[in-house]
């Protein structure tokens, strides 16, 4: 019984023993519930806490992550464009918007910008 000579091990065992005693008292008051029912009760409590939570497949999760990344990238690009146009407005210049025709005219057949 040298295991219990250590104060650390004795404290660990006392905590475990107190948990078992509490479980025994609960079973006396409420009656025995099989382990499966306890799991179902816990899952029902979780559903009550967060009714929007649902199981999804790995493919669905990856798709959601891809969409989130694409949205974040698009928003970042939009913010950069807005900041650039604000800077141009502050400098007194009108924002320069190149149309597709101007872009195509500014390139020679080799693809280099003139």
pLDDT in tens, 42-76: 777 777 777 777 788 999 999 999 999 999 999 99
H or E, element range at 114: none
> How do residues 14-32 score in pLDDT, each as one tens digit?
999 999 999 889 888 888 7
Each residue's pLDDT tens digit, 76-89: 999 999 999 898 88
Give the separation between CA 84 and CA 16, rounded to whole angstroms: 63
Helices (H), the chain: 7-30, 35-49, 58-90, 100-105
Q: Give residue 57's pLDDT.
A: 93
Asked if the model's pLDDT at residue 109 lies above 90, the reply is no
Instruction: For residues 43 and 54, give the distance between their C-alpha atoms in angstroms, rounded to a whole number.
Output: 11
């Amino acid at each position: 019984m040298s295991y219990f000579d250590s104060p650390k091990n004795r404290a660990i065992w006392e905590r475990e023993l107190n948990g078992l005693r509490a479980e025994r008292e609960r079973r006396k008051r409420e009656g025995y519930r099989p382990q499966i029912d306890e799991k179902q009760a816990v899952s029902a409590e979780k559903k009550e806490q967060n009714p929007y939570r649902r199981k999804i497949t790995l493919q669905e999760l990856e798709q959601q992550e891809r969409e989130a990344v694409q949205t974040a990238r698009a928003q970042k690009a939009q913010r950069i464009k807005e900041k650039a146009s604000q800077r141009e407005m502050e400098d007194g210049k009108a924002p320069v918007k190149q149309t597709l025709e101007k872009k195509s005219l500014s390139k020679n057949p080799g693809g280099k910008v003139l």
